[in-house]
Amino acid sequence: MKYLLKNLQIIDPTLHINQISDIIIENGIIKKIAENINPSDDVKTIEFEKTICTLGFFDMHVHLREPGYEQAETIKTGSDAAAEGGFTAIACMPNTNPTIDTSEVVESILKKSENHIVNVFPIGAVTKGRKGESLSPIYEMHESGAVGFSDDGVAVKTANMVKLALEYSKLIGTPLIEHCEDESLFGGSINEGTISTELGLPPIPSVAEELTIARDILLAQYTQGKLHIAHISTKNSVDLVRNAKAKGLNVTAEVTPHHFSLTENSLRSYDTNYKMNPPLRTEEDVEAIIEGLIDGTIDVIASDHAPHAQEDKEVEFVQAPNGIIGLETEVGLALSELYNKKKLSIEQIIEKLAINPRQILNIEIPQIKIGNKAEFTFLIPDKIWAVNLSQSKSKSKNSPFDKKLLTGKAIGIFNNSKLYLNGEYV
């Protein structure tokens, strides 16, 4: 199959490219990049308008729920949602059932994701069953295709186990991805503060996150290991990571779209679609996070896509599970809240959604040059659209963003020789 994509604004910050061009792709490989290429009969020609073509976006924090919780999401439906949201690749978290803690589970996920337009990269559990007691077979899982290790859902239980994991993973260079939360301070439903006091909901203190980040950064310094902080959410957390980077430590961090676009004030309705972990925080925290995105303290935007079946989320607030789906609103929120509000340039957006996640996980960046595999995300940064959950590709619909107007959209992707554009394969 041969494609001619016309009139694209090609942006590849790694090659310092930002130009209007046409592209010819043959069998999934970039064959030609030039202006005004003439269509021919054997080529499928697509004419674009006001569209950016950039490095395929990569979401490094996705819960696909398979194996074990297929009523909420499957590898197929989660990958479909990723394609719809503008991602050519995702990394999936190991809190499945069984846990991704053997190479067999890694391989079965890779097998099931074959032939999809979206590539799936499994994250293995750091410890067996994510119990924090003994290391899982990290080298074997890596050899089978796991790109990072995490006990996400919880922090690695003990400082000793964090130390072992940071040391053990040095050989293969994979990051320890930490969900930072001190167990003894946890047990609540929303951020501890004025809103939790007003709503009488059991609180989660921000220091529960910060304490674990501080612990892990000290251990990363001590071991010289590679640490990635997942879904950072407080001002102090941003400061801790900023200081760690200033010291030259191998520490990176990610933030979810909801933590830069919502605050705890949304919780006044007791709507369980605003219940997440880490919880939504204060305005001051959101400002610090945006500051961290601007100055590079926060490297990555990742969804923490967490599907839950409707009957699980439509319950009493305290009983409701944490998390929201995010793959299909992530790019829109990033463009609306960060790019269109002039906080980040388009290059910075691309760094945080395509370049940095791959660098952290040691995955080759699909640079836009002749001879390379074509792996693109197509963006219209000023397109105004409304989120419509009923059209979501995800099997679950737990999101607080239904009907929200966003400015900026990923309209499609090209990957694995397939073109997905405006909701369909072309």
Residues 6+ apart with CB under 8 A from 112: 66, 75, 76
Q: At residue 8, what are phi and psi to the nearest 5 degrees?
A: -105, 145
Instruction: Using the minimum distance from each CB to other proteins, give the nearer residue, 139 or 270.
Output: 270
Question: According to the binding rule CB under 8 A, does residue 270 interact with other proteins?
Answer: yes
Give residues 153-192 in contact with other proteins (rule: CB under 8 A): 192
**CB of residue 387 to other proteins, shortest distance in Å:** 20
DSSP E strands: which ranges in 86-135? 87-92, 119-124
Closest separation in Å from C-beta 319 to other proteins: 6
For 79, 229, 261, 421, the CA distances from 117, given in Å and listed in that order, are 8, 28, 29, 12
Using the contact rule CB under 8 A, the part of the chain among 115-123, 131-139, 195-203, 213-221 near other proteins is 195-203
Closest CB to other proteins among residues 41, 311: 311
Closer to other proteins by CB, 42 or 311: give it. Answer: 311
Calpha distance 380→75 (Å, rounded): 27
The alpha carbon of 305 is separated from its chain's Cα centroid by a whole number of angstroms, namely 7
d(CA 309, CA 401): 17
Nearer to other proteins (CB atom), residue 40 or residue 197: 197
> Which residues, numbered 294-333, are part of the site for other proteins (CB under 8 A)?
311, 314-319
Binder of residue 152, out of Zn ion, other proteins, none (CB less than 5 to 8 A by kind): Zn ion
Tokens of 157: 């239980």
- Span of 23-31, 116-124, 148-156, 332-340 interacting with Zn ion by CB under 5 A: 148-156
Catalytic, out of 101, 152, 299, 304: 304
Q: How far is the CB of 137 from other proteins (least distance, A)?
A: 37
Here the tokens at position 370 are 């002749």
From candidates 36, 200, 371, 424, binder to other proteins by CB under 8 A: 200
Q: Residues in contact with other proteins, total (CB under 8 A)?
A: 21
Does the annotation count 152 as an active-site position?
Answer: no
Q: Which of 17, 199, 218, 421 lies at the binding interface for other proteins (CB under 8 A)?
A: 199
Tokens of 254: 């990610």
Question: Alpha-carbon distance 356 to 55, whole Å?
Answer: 11
* 179 binding partner (options other proteins, Zn ion, none; Cβ < 5 to 8 Å by kind): Zn ion
Residue listed under structure tokens 């002749």: 370
179 binds Zn ion (CB under 5 A): yes
The correct pick among 118, 141, 165, 201 for binding other proteins (CB under 8 A) is: 201
| Complex with Zn ion: residue 88 or 150, whichever CB lies closer | 150
Note whether 269 binds other proteins by CB under 8 A: yes
DSSP conformation letters of 26-89 = ETTEEEEEESSPPP-TTSEEEEEEEEEEEEPEEEEEE---TTT-TTT--HHHHHHHHHHHTEEE
Token pair, residue 178, equals: 């930490």
Gap between the Cα atoms of 305 and 161, Å rounded:
27
Instruction: Tell the smallest beta-carbon distance from residue 189 to other proteins (Å).
Output: 8
Site residues (vs other proteins, CB under 8 A): 192-194, 196-203, 205, 269-270, 311, 314-319
Catalytic residues: 304
